[in-house]
Chain A
């Protein structure tokens, strides 16, 4: 089992809904990441938090809003999404040192109707 826990596992939402994805890790990691993965494609980086501060935003549309309440938690708030936003959303964490590997969660499968 992965040490990065994501909830919910599956989410179906309409284009006018507001929902949130949650991620938790207790490995003492100081960097946390959101990735988006479409079927049969590699993960695409969305956001990076380092020591609870947003350090990278890969030009993600504002309908995706990340939040890092503390070093163990990472949220992704969703509002007014489009059907093309349907994908697997992966959270990952790392020690934050530049040579430390990423540990991924199992993702939230999001469907926008």
Chain B
């Protein structure tokens, strides 16, 4: 089955710097890759997603890149702000399979220092 590895587990940056979180997946049939942000006391919220027919997607300060050959995808946050501090989860699934079960990475705790 699918396995998703996420690095780093913790990341501390200064406000205004960029942050990069990387994930690798094992199942070459996976074709949907969402990223979730979970703030303390809240549920995960989708911040961006990418499908395997696209190499890069950007939404304001957030971008995701996908390398299908290497089976890895990354989240890039530019001009970080204290409110970006949260736990970020990557995930992968094969949307062509019945159920399309999401497999999550272990999470990255991002701390943005003012």
Give the B-binding residues of A (Cβ under 8 A): 2, 4, 40-43, 45, 48, 55-56, 90, 92, 98-99, 101-107
Which A residues are in CB contact (< 8 Å) with B43? 2, 4, 90, 92, 104-107
**Majority SS at the chain A contact face:** loop
Which B residues are in CB contact (< 8 Å) with A101? 34, 46, 49
Q: B42 at interface (Cβ–Cβ under 8 A)? A: yes
Count contacts on B: residues with CB < 8 A to the other chain.
25
Q: Which residues B73-114 have CB closer than 8 A to chain A?
A: 87, 89, 95-97, 99-102, 104-107, 109
A42 to B36, CA, bound (A): 10
Sample (14) of A-B pairs whose CB atoms are under 8 Å apart: A40-B87, A40-B107, A40-B109, A41-B106, A42-B105, A42-B107, A55-B99, A90-B43, A99-B95, A101-B34, A101-B49, A106-B41, A106-B42, A107-B42
What residue of chain B has the Cβ atom nearest to residue A103's Cβ?
A: B46
Given A56-B101, A98-B95, A102-B102, A43:B51 Cβ within 8 A: no
Known: A48-B99, A98-B96, A102-B102. 16 other contacts (CB 8 A): A2-B45, A40-B87, A41-B106, A41-B107, A42-B106, A42-B107, A43-B44, A43-B104, A92-B43, A98-B100, A99-B32, A102-B34, A103-B46, A104-B44, A106-B42, A106-B43
A55 to B95, CA, bound (A): 15
A41 to B44, CA, bound (A): 12
A20 to B100, CA, bound (A): 27
Which A residues are in CB contact (< 8 Å) with B109? 40
A107 to B39, CA, bound (A): 12
Is A45 within 8 A of B95, CB to CB?
Answer: no
Is B107 within 8 A of A45, CB to CB?
Answer: no
Q: How far is the CB of A29 from chain B (nearest CB, A)?
A: 13
Which B residues are in CB contact (< 8 Å) with A105? 43
Which A residues are in CB contact (< 8 Å) with B49? 101
What residue of chain A has the Cβ atom nearest to residue B109's Cβ?
A: A40
What residue of chain A has the Cβ atom nearest to residue B107's Cβ?
A: A42
What residue of chain A has the Cβ atom nearest to residue B39's Cβ?
A: A106
Q: Which residues B30-56 have CB closer than 8 A to chain A?
A: 32, 34, 36, 41-46, 49, 51
